[in-house]
Amino acid sequence: MARSAAARSTDRFERKREAILDAATRILNRKGIKGLTLGDTAAAVDLSTTSVTYYFKRKDDLAAACITRGIETLTELADRAVQAQTPEARLHAFLTNYLDTLKGVSCGTASPLPIITELRALSSPRREEVQSTYGRLFRKTRQIFDHPDLAWMSRGRRTARTRMLLEQVFWGGNWLEKFDPEDYPRICDRMVDILVNGIATTADHWEPAPIPMEELAAREGPELARETFLLAATRLINRRGYKGASVDKISAELNVTKGSFYHHNEAKDDLVVACFERSFEVMRKAQRLAMEVPGDQWAKVSSCASALAEFQLSDHGPLLRTNALTALPEQMRKVMVEHSNRVSDRFASMMSDGIAEGSLRPVDPFIASQMLTATLNACGELGYLVPDVRPKAAAAVFVKPLLMGVFKH
């Protein structure tokens, strides 16, 4: 009887802990770590803040537990998927498992998945602990590419493809909500088709036209000074996350005083918005320049994607990672998401034209454009993943697999 009572007590503890994590994850996804509080989490589950601290003493402990649980869920999905015999079957199983989980979330039968990239905003030692858990997810997902038929693929290329694939999962929450869960099997098939076969036709070749990096960045006068300021801030925010990029650290990175910082920016949120606006303008500029490239839409899309991948690793890059969106106040975030969607919609328009003229495969242009946006967003990490990669080679290593197929040379 004593053991039975202890078991019931343990069950109650775990159920309450899971409820706290569910509530905190939803807040985390809306407001980021910056907006997550123990008080709001407690209110969401009808507990006092003191009661929540019985489970998680600090906000970072709670955020780390949310993200760790999400990573472990994805690792379980990948572990089941890699039991399949072929890379194509593993890929299909992984995305099917992921979308089935999202369907369960929408139906209330599965716990919500957190925005994984928020782990950058955690403080030590929680950040390192969660990064270790993420490393296990990454290594498990990379097993999708472990097959004799892919022996030609170097470790660096497998690593790049794995990061690109995981970004599709991380980014999916931003656009899959446009669809009813009953459509997820169809969406899964379309995503797998794009990943396996690309958007290029069998007649297309990988020969993107060069777009000078200098054309994508401000080059003189006040614009150059502002570009330098925003570039330094972008690099720091990408590296440390919004929370880790304090005004003191940003000022030190730029070698200016805090007073000088506030002379140019009313608040850190304004700086993040300015960094996003810079990034979106670079992407729009690349699209405009690509539209002037001679040839068909395949030439234009591949040239644009190639230029942006190179920009990410060049002295002018990177672009601000989209995970910084969660740190912005809701109204600011809404405006920045609209800007991001306009960039993706232009890619979709270019792809639609290519499908109509026959230079691109008949894929779903909306889904393909979102997958390309996700790929370009993650490309900034390529230098960390494959340290010896050169900016000029970034597109061939990271973008070409999406456009021409992840299992192709």
In this predicted structure, what is the pLDDT of residue 219? Answer: 63
From first to last of its 409 residues, the chain has per-residue pLDDT tens of 455 655 666 788 899 999 999 999 999 988 888 789 999 999 999 999 999 999 999 999 999 999 999 999 999 999 999 999 999 999 999 999 999 999 999 999 999 999 887 787 788 899 999 999 999 999 999 999 999 999 999 999 999 999 999 999 999 888 998 899 999 999 999 999 999 999 999 999 999 999 988 888 866 656 666 777 788 888 888 877 766 666 777 777 777 666 666 666 667 777 888 888 999 999 999 999 999 999 999 999 999 999 999 999 998 889 988 877 776 777 788 888 888 889 999 999 999 999 999 999 999 999 999 999 999 988 888 777 778 888 888 999 999 999 999 999 8
pTM: 0.91
User: How confident is the model over 172-200, as pLDDT tens digits?
Assistant: 888 998 899 999 999 999 999 999 999 99
- Whole-number Å distance between alpha carbons of 80 and 318: 35
* CATH code of the domain occupying 2-197: 1.10.357.10
Rounded to a whole number, what is the distance in angstroms from the first to the last CA of the chain?
64
Q: Which long-range contacts does 226-233 make (Cβ < 8 Å, 24+ apart)? A: 227/278, 229/254, 229/264, 230/271, 230/274, 230/275, 230/278, 231/278, 231/316, 233/271, 233/275
Asked whether 42 and 49 are in contact (CB, 8 A), the reply is yes
Kindly report, as residue ranges, where domains of CATH 1.10.357.10 are found in the chain. 2-197, 213-404
pLDDT at 392: 87
CATH code of the region 213-404: 1.10.357.10
Please report the pLDDT score of residue 321 as a whole number. Answer: 86
Contacts of 286 (CB under 8 A, 6+ apart): 211, 216, 304, 307, 308, 311
CA distance 278 to 99: 33
Burial class (CB in 10 A: 0-12, 13-18, 19+), 180: exposed
